[in-house]
Structure 1
């Protein structure tokens, strides 16, 4: 009976383990973001150093759209996930020209990488 319960518990936890964040994999995902974003300086897009926990549209020296400035968002895992899946849907009128990242695992890895750049 104990083995049956242990087996059921392991099966229940398997999806959680499969979704573990991997910052090294996230760095590879970020390669596509480098066309517009960097850490420590603004480019075509705003500086992403310390983005997690930052209020959207507030990084000094970047000219944000009115939509992003007025979005009321603060970048956390849930908000970033929704945004990166569909930037124009989450914040209509923002300047980001990106169709979105649909792969949940890649998003989680990207978030893990962004957290290393605080």
Structure 2
């Protein structure tokens, strides 16, 4: 009986705002993307690689962009976990990469930014 009650509580909690925010806020993520616009966009005319479809893409493979050897050889695929680590600290995630970005330390902002990137994929 006890496990059935626990299960009902978990199911009920999953519908609360605390759980809903884990998916990220796309509108807030678009705002968090503002500094990225200096180099990235979702078309083929940015200084950095096009980010359209970046979620799920193998790192260092966008055609037409000259990636660092470190990123090309990283073996990463841009899933949510790798994006989170990368966006938090690109130099720590892939030492020797050429991206000039200090990173984002705010976990909520990271979640929102990743939600926005996913919405553009």
> What is the RMSD of the two structures over their aligned residues, measured on CA atoms?
2.2
Q: When the two structures are superposed, what TM-score results if normalisation uses the length of structure 2?
A: 0.83
Distance 1:74 1:42 in 2: 23
Q: When the two structures are superposed, what TM-score results if normalisation uses the length of structure 1?
A: 0.85
Distance 1:79 1:19 in 2: 16
SS of the residue 1:107 aligns to: helix
Aligned residues: 113
- Gaps of at least 5 residues in structure 2 are none
Kindly report which structure 2 residues correspond to 1:1-118, keeping only aligned pairs within 5 A, or say none. Answer: 10=13, 15-118=18-121
Contact 1:73 1:79 in 2 (8 A): yes
Shift of 1:43: 2.2
Distance 2:66 2:96 in 1: 14
Contact 2:43 2:50 in 1 (8 A): yes
Contact 2:23 2:115 in 1 (8 A): no
- Gaps of at least 5 residues in structure 1 are none
SS of the residue 2:24 aligns to: coil
SS of the residue 2:78 aligns to: coil
Q: String of CA shifts for 1:35-83, please: whole Å, max 9, x gaps.
A: 0101021422111000000000000000000000000000010000011
Shift of 1:14: 6.4
